[in-house]
């Protein structure tokens, strides 16, 4: 990152300046999105203890957002070279590290979501007990917190990727053999 920032020059067509500007713009968008999600989705449903923890993180996020907006403004004005911009970038980076350390200090459980799209189930000779045991095995192997299983319609190649692939292969083999 330092090499990219220190290459910024004081002219309009500096690709390093454009690159850092886009990175900062995306960072600000993601932080704003996180703030909106916290305030509108998660905070109203959260217990009081979680609201307090989330508010601490939100305070840090707002500080990071302010630092990123300040950097973005400095990049727009092009009054400084990359060497002059490097210390504010380091300050913003340390603010981000502080926010991540705060989140890590909460010792939150790791999240690993698994999405399983299947047409297997009781209707195709697989019992619910078998499905539950297999789900438990996968959860333990993947250390996943949540597992989403979506049962698709049997023999519906429009929904099932494996059936579409098998149908395409079968069609090609048929074309080759019977031509």
Other CB atoms within 10 A of residue 173 CB = 10
Residues contacting 67, CB < 8 A, separation 6+: 88, 91, 92, 95
> Where is 115: in which H helix or E strand?
strand 113-118
**Residue 77 pLDDT more than 80?**
no
pTM: 0.58
Q: What is the mean pLDDT of residues 73-90?
A: 80
**Residue 25 pLDDT more than 80?**
yes
**Which tens digits make up the pLDDT trace of 117-132?**
666 555 555 666 666 7
Residue 114: strand, helix, or coil: strand
**Residue 24 pLDDT more than 70?**
yes
The domain limits of the chain are 2-105, 113-177
């Amino acid at each position: 990152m330092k090499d990219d920032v220190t290459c910024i020059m004081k002219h309009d067509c500096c690709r390093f300046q454009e690159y850092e500007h886009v990175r900062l713009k995306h960072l600000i968008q993601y932080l704003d999105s996180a703030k909106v999600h916290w305030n509108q989705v998660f905070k109203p449903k959260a217990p009081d203890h979680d609201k307090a923890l989330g508010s601490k993180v939100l305070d840090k996020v707002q500080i990071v957002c302010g630092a990123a907006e300040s950097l973005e403004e400095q990049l727009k004005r092009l009054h400084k070279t990359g060497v002059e911009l490097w210390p504010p970038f380091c300050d913003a980076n340390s603010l981000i590290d502080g926010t991540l350390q705060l989140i890590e200090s909460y010792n939150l459980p790791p999240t690993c979501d698994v999405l399983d799209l299947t047409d297997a189930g009781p209707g195709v000779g697989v019992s619910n007990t078998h499905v539950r045991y297999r789900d438990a095995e996968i959860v333990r192997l993947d250390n996943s917190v949540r597992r989403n299983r979506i049962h698709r319609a049997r023999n519906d190649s429009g929904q099932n990727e494996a059936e579409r692939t098998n149908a395409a292969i079968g069609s090609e083999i048929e074309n080759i053999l019977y031509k």
